[in-house]
Structure 1
Amino acid sequence: MASLDSVRHGSARPALPRTYLVWLAGTRASLLGDAVLYFPLGWAASAHGGGTGALVLTAITLPRTLLLLLGGAVGDRFGARGVMVVGDAVMLAATLALALASSRLDASPRLLVAVAAVVGTVDAFYLPAAGAMPRSLVGKAQLPRALAVQQAAGQLASLLGAPLGAVLVAAAGLTGAALADAATFAVVLVVLVCVRPAFDVERSPRAEGLLAGAADGVRVAAGDPVLRSALLLTAAAACFLLPVVSLLNPLLAREHGWSAGAAGLIAGGQSLGVVAVALLVSRRGTLRRLGRGAALGLCVAAPGITAVALAGEAGVAVAVAGGIVTGAGSGMFACHIGPLVLSGAPGTHLARLQALLTLVQSLALVVGNNALGALADAGGAPVATAACAAGACAAGLTGLALKPLGRLRQP
């Protein structure tokens, strides 16, 4: 257990800057709008069959994955705020066009795929910029708390998005959901125009080509022992933590004869654990050694995943409790890995390293989902879930043993 000295002392903490809180409120509203829109898009696509539904999802993920590193280079070249303004303006126009088209015509597969492609393309540039933006709004000393509040708000937005999307589809259809999302983009656009960064962040040289800049972001991360270790831990978390809720919980519920509601309770327990830890960190601060905190998060999640894997005979309550512990470990990991990367990254490479972090997570998740799905088919969902617990524990212990992660301290 970490000593009391490893946690930031002092009961009186300066409040987070108002500009950051305004920016956070706007961007989380937009994130909620996106989460609300994803359900209606999937619902409308499902009316045309599973192939169309898969094509719409692919139209989002493929351009986002292919263009992420380029998006990071653009963010470092032209500034995170400017990229976000352009991205919000494009998405405002796209969602208004979707609302207009769906109100006059049926939601054709071509329309849905086109909108999905716009979403994925904008995400490739917007996500790295949004990830780098807090560095220009808060000082390094407040960065961990700021990112913890962002994590909690983002988790709540994601949690509420699907249910709100279902309600909107029932009440107003795809048109209403698109208009709601457009309203959130309008709010963020106003916020970004009004909010001014409080801290200067150096931009990448204009003489550097964008493709060369994207490659240089990979070079910097691979050559820095702290950033390299952080990326490896992120890949492990994506492979062993994320599939537990999205893939293995439904498989476990079906195998044990539980209802869909039971699977939802387990997922809700994990979200509760993430939010609780994020709020705690936002108030009390992170562990002084950020790398150790991220690695400990994986170790904390491991027994929770084990409880979920072994809950067949014990019942749903044990699985829900395991989900809460899993979420607590996930929240601890996320609240330490974010400031670790943002604090350790050069100012000229903030967006590029955020892009690389997202790309590593996405690729590891694809590999993990497919491998765990095959293992669940061969040996059962409990075996695949137990493999996640073992993998998370092994990754956490490895992270604790890595010297670069142990040396970096949060001031």
Structure 2
Amino acid sequence: MTATLIPPVHAAADKPAHRDSNVLRWLGAYTASMVGDNVYYLALSWAAVQAGTPSQAGLVMAVSAVPRALLMLGGGVVADRFGPRRVVIGSDAVRCAAVLTVAALLFAASPGLWLLALLAVLFGTVDAVFMPAVGALPARVTGRDQLARVQGMRGLAIRFANVVGAPLGGLGVALGGAAAAFGLAGLLIAVSVPLLVSVRMRDLPTDVRTDLPTDVPTDVEVGGEAGGEAGGEAGPHPMGAAQDTACRATPWQDLRDGLRYLRGHRVLAPLLVAIALGDLGFVGPLNVGLTLLAEQRGWGASGMGWVLSGFGAGAGVAALLLTVRGRLPHAGRVAAASILAGSVAIGALAYAPSLVAAVGTALLVGLLAGLSGALCGALLQTQADPAYLGRVSSVAGIVSLGFAPLSMPLSAAAIGWWGTGPVFVTSATVCGLGGVVVLCSGPLRRAQLPR
């Protein structure tokens, strides 16, 4: 099959994403939901510690990851079949209702750990659908040439939520215990729903790539629910017959088509491998490894906080750069260089001679990791066919949220055996392999962000 390149449609009234009220409404909804998530996790942790032992609390915090990892591929299919906007609105409504229900029950009684575990499982199950839909939604609210800027804006929203969410959750706990914190989380998530309802969806090109795999059926490639949602809201879709054919496909067929599409894509397949290697090499040192390093060096909790602040500041600068610039040339090459340089900085962090040097190194790690992460996210958004974005986002989510956390207990055990230096260097090597993958893949290395 030969795909036809269809250039992105630019309306005369198009604005840069950071000046587009439609994108800003989406950003407000996303930010409110992310802040609510941060408050929720703090409230869940506090309530679990109060209701049981530390090990029981840890189990409650961990159980949400199981349905999220197991069901996320299916969540990507749901997002593509029903449209990410509907799925995000429905998911946020369910999350809001669940959290507010638990808040009300905690105000009235002390149900114990079973209720918190049930909430964690429900939240993780809904997240399995919510996260792929969130990843697929930006392409529906702005043009392809603005998706890199939107990635930067999304990164700023995540940093803002991380900074603001914990203090808000702590304030809720201080004023009214876990019940008040849960109530605050539910209200913040609720704010996102009317904002999302007001967001307008764009009618997208049905096929924007020239490098699609030849074994993906034409009717699925150009039709499907991704175009159906846009067509339903912005006017009739020109490929109605193809859509009808795609709609008759079963969810299992959709899943297989999505995986086959990814496996044969000359840019997305190596990009996901690079993302996986980067996350595997990054998560361990910057979580468990940093805690153990601070303890060994005598920096204490405050010193570790300064190092984490340096990382957050660097990542924020990278997100702001992409937000302001909107596009960086030679995205594939810049991403590879950022991954390789960032991996060197990760290895150097274990050998920082002082806390000041460690904070400076962490700032560099955050800047480079934030830049490479934003560019990889933007390439994923712009290289994927709109009909497959939910499934593409689900695979990327499984890599980041399912596989990468496995490196944390391994990193802790390895540091106990060999020390922080060798483990940080090993992790940096794994992370750097992601940059090597980018350089070795010609289509990915030459990939550009749309103008």
| TM-score, normalised via structure 1 length | 0.92
Paired residue for 1:195?
199
Q: Could you tell me how far 1:14 is from its partner in structure 2?
A: 4.2
Residue 281 of structure 1: which of 281, 304, 322 is its match? Answer: 322
- Whether 1:179 and 2:220 are equivalent positions in the alignment is no
Residue 376 of structure 2: which of 332, 337, 342 is its match? Answer: 337
Residue 168 of structure 1: which of 162, 165, 172 is its match? Answer: 172
The question of whether the paired residues in 1 share the 8 Å contact of 2:279 and 2:431 is answered with no
| CA offsets 1:219-245 (integer angstroms, 9 cap, x no match) | 211111211111111101111122222
Paired residue for 1:266?
307
The question of whether the paired residues in 1 share the 8 Å contact of 2:278 and 2:430 is answered with no
The question of whether the paired residues in 1 share the 8 Å contact of 2:151 and 2:322 is answered with no
The question of whether the paired residues in 1 share the 8 Å contact of 2:262 and 2:268 is answered with yes
Structure 2 residue matching 1:69: 3-state secondary structure: helix
Distance 1:297 1:132 in 2: 25
Paired residue for 1:209?
250
| CA offsets 1:168-197 (integer angstroms, 9 cap, x no match) | 212221111111112122211111222121
The question of whether the paired residues in 1 share the 8 Å contact of 2:44 and 2:116 is answered with yes
Paired residue for 1:73?
77
RMSD over aligned CA atoms reads 1.7
Distance 2:440 2:347 in 1: 23
Residue 347 of structure 2: which of 306, 311, 315 is its match? Answer: 306
| CA offsets 1:149-181 (integer angstroms, 9 cap, x no match) | 111111221233223322321222111111111
In structure 2, the gaps of 5 or more residues are 1-13, 205-225, 229-242
Distance 1:215 1:163 in 2: 43
Q: Point out the more displaced range, 386-395 or 86-95.
A: 386-395
Counterparts in 2 of 1:181-260, with a 5 A limit? 181-200=185-204, 201-203=226-228, 205-260=246-301
- AA of the residue aligned to 2:21: R
Structure 2 residue matching 1:249: 3-state secondary structure: helix
In structure 1, the gaps of 5 or more residues are 1-12
- AA of the residue aligned to 2:201: P
The question of whether the paired residues in 2 share the 8 Å contact of 1:291 and 1:408 is answered with yes
Counterparts in 2 of 1:13-24, with a 5 A limit? 14-16=15-17, 17-24=20-27
- Whether 1:317 and 2:384 are equivalent positions in the alignment is no
The question of whether the paired residues in 2 share the 8 Å contact of 1:229 and 1:404 is answered with no
Q: Could you tell me how far 1:76 is from its partner in structure 2?
A: 0.3
- Whether 1:120 and 2:124 are equivalent positions in the alignment is yes
| CA offsets 1:2-21 (integer angstroms, 9 cap, x no match) | xxxxxxxxxxx943121111
| CA offsets 1:300-344 (integer angstroms, 9 cap, x no match) | 312321331102xx2111111111011011111111111111111
Sort the Cα spacing of 1:265 and 1:106 in 2 relative to 1 into closer, same or farther, 3 A. Answer: same
Q: Could you tell me how far 1:41 is from its partner in structure 2?
A: 0.6
The question of whether the paired residues in 1 share the 8 Å contact of 2:80 and 2:389 is answered with yes
Distance 1:44 1:101 in 2: 12
Instruction: Provide runs of 4+ in structure 1 moved above 6 Å.
Output: none
Distance 2:203 2:408 in 1: 40
Q: Point out the more displaced range, 68-77 or 394-403.
A: 394-403
Distance 2:326 2:96 in 1: 36
Q: Could you tell me how far 1:107 is from its partner in structure 2?
A: 4.9
| TM-score, normalised via structure 2 length | 0.84
- Whether 1:95 and 2:99 are equivalent positions in the alignment is yes
- Whether 1:109 and 2:148 are equivalent positions in the alignment is no
Structure 1 residue matching 2:247: 3-state secondary structure: coil
Q: Point out the more displaced range, 218-227 or 153-162.
A: 153-162
Q: Could you tell me how far 1:253 is from its partner in structure 2?
A: 0.7
Q: Could you tell me how far 1:248 is from its partner in structure 2?
A: 0.9
Paired residue for 1:360?
399
| CA offsets 1:23-59 (integer angstroms, 9 cap, x no match) | 1111111100110110121122123013322321232
The question of whether the paired residues in 2 share the 8 Å contact of 1:304 and 1:321 is answered with no
- Whether 1:43 and 2:68 are equivalent positions in the alignment is no
Distance 1:333 1:398 in 2: 13
Distance 2:434 2:190 in 1: 42
- AA of the residue aligned to 1:240: G
